[in-house]
Structure 1
Amino acid sequence: MWLKDSHAVVYHPDSSKILKDYRGRTKLVGDLWQKNCSLRITHLHLSDKGPFIFRIEIDDDNKFSYVHAAVSIAVNSSPHSPYLSVREEVKVGEVVFASCSVFYSCPSEPPLLTWGPSRTPSNQSQQLVNGQWEVTSSLTFTSIINDNSKSLVCTAEYSGGEKVSSSKTLNVKYAPVDVKVEGVSDVMEGASVELRCSSDGNPAAHSFHWHNSQGPLPSRSSTIKLERVTRLTEALYCTAINTEGQGHSSLLKFHVEYQPEIRVGSACTADFSIINCLCIVDWEPPGMVEWSAPGRTLPSTKVERHGSVTMVTLQRPLEFSDVVCCNAGNTHGNATLSCSMPTNYKVLMQYVSTAVGAFVLIFILIPVTTCLFIKKW
């Protein structure tokens, strides 16, 4: 049997002799034939501190209480938190070793150790002195970027349902990633634009480089200002640098808008019977192009677009107008080109006019001459 304070029975083969507060909470778990009389007490109370004394009675004659071998228990109101060991600062891609251990006093019901976020550990238990045991859970994993600033949590759950946890926050070092150029890429020609280089890295980027196809640009900060952007301004990218390395953004191309410009090469030519006009317009965004002669609009024959350049063709029979105009307009402005008829066209028109006049004159004179001749005859 087991006694408390030398008189209160906390365990006896006859349960009716057990102190009411201990009935159903005590059990002899040792093997008597192996001289093991270990006692198990469940659902501990703060008052279960003892001292507890082992007593043996044989045939009413042989009785003995092991008063000098009494056992006392230090009962805590809640379990101790697990001891968590891990190197908190690591580089991305490094193997991380973590261990979590906790003490317990009942070898048949060790606490359950679990890890969060969900990971698969290996567990082992060992017996210590003074009736204590220790269970240890070990964990091995390769660090990734998403582990940074995440808590590694070890939780011990006891048979009575109590749970206690310990955690440590991982600090994973990595070179800049997700590097990008932020800012407005749609800009009116001649305007200024300010861009910012952003990145995700641990530690944060401490310097930046800016580049275009010609090479590095003068700025070394996270921002750059471009003055008077034109349609020829090249795409650029940035590089973010920290102690772990560097990362590059993708190219940022500018969408530059401007009013129409009619390019050199726009003109009119003529052959014997047809006038051919070409108008080449450079603009962004594209708008509307039309041909006109004095007092009327002429429909275009063909329209072709090649990027920001639009080519508009006019083909018409010969007429008496000396000027044909190409008119182009978009949301930012207008442009007009007046095409005078070529010299050969004017000479041709004069020949045509002379020939028509001569034909009319002959047409009139022939009947008159014939009448005079007949009259004279």
Structure 2
Amino acid sequence: MIGKSYFLLSLLQVGLSQEWKGHTPEEVTAQEGLCAQIPCHYSYPSHLANQPRLGIWYNNEKLGKSSVAFHSEDYNHQLPRFRHRTWLSGDLKDGDCSLIINSFTREDAGPYFFRIEFNNQDKYSYIPETWLHVSDFTDKPRIFPADIIAGKPVDISCIFNTTCNGTAPALTWDTATDVPGSASNTVTQHGVTLTYTSVLSLTPSLRHHGQNLTCRLRYPSVSSERTLVLTVQYPPQNLSITSLDIIDASSINIIEGNSTVIICSVESFPASNLTWRHLNVPKNRTSSNNELWLAIPHVTSRDTGDYDCVAENEHGAVEGSITITVERRGSNDWKAGLLGAGITLGVGLSGFFIFKCVKKLCSTGRDHSAQTEPIRSCSSDDKSDKSWKKEEKELEMKSEHGLSPDSEDNVYESCEIDKDSVYVNV
């Protein structure tokens, strides 16, 4: 029983070892201009393990010399358009039949299958075939910039990865004429991935800020590129302080009670943190902004003094100052007010003296009414006196003071106003 089981097991192992099997994908898509790769692994009867063999790839669904894309012994059997463009990435003895087609074109698209031959006796075609499709070239290199700081050397890397070991791409740099630098290229492999790297070493300056830096990828028939806009970091510089009324002034005069605005601006990258200080006391601040306004409403004498603006970022700091002088209101307004007050006082005094003289005149006229000619009364009540009483009073005035009817002018002379003494107060 045991012998029979061993015999059946041996037959099963022989049958398995004699199977012909191939492992290829149904479809593969490759970009035009790059290399295309069809992964392939095959197996065969074990008794052929040490036999010589050749491998053939056909670009067709049928056998025929007119469709040979690769021949492991004689490339002259290949179609002219495939010569020197196809090879195997592995070793047939290891069961690796992977095909590489370099500089893949649209004409190369179609079905492919692999055939193995051992001394023209044992042969096998691994069907079904793999369909190879072509797409537009879209791959681009990648740029990995470090921090770019004015005056400090920096290395900028351009990298391109591929899993197809065809013609190596060329990586080059396109820079502005005033961006000198040196490049070094390397290639490394990790598993099936090939990494092409170009490192550009340069020392940027402020004038390089905003300029383009381009890494270009070139294959024999296609190319692509990646562009980096240089953003050069630098400390704050060119700080300026202005006001809404005066530009580029180191000091400004403000009338007490008025308002003003002073503006601090600076150039830097990244943007600076700005602070206004008065007598070392912060008055206003802003972050990541290269401009800061300080408004001072209703200026008083306490606002007199120096105002310092400090700008700083991670690469440095700079500061500037402006002096504000507060001028007290009213030196001219006070003089004008004093003149007006003097005029008002003078007019008032003049009116007062005139009133006093008229009052005195009226009083004098009553005292002399018995001896002089009648004098018109200064009171509205006197107008109601009887005419016979008027004559009697006038005679009494004349008799008492010895006045004649012509003495009325003498009464008014006693009320003469000294104009000079009045207006001298103005």
Query: Which is higher, the Rg of structure 1 or of structure 2?
Result: 2
TM above 0.5: no
TM-score (structure 2 length as normaliser): 0.41
Larger proportion of strand: 1
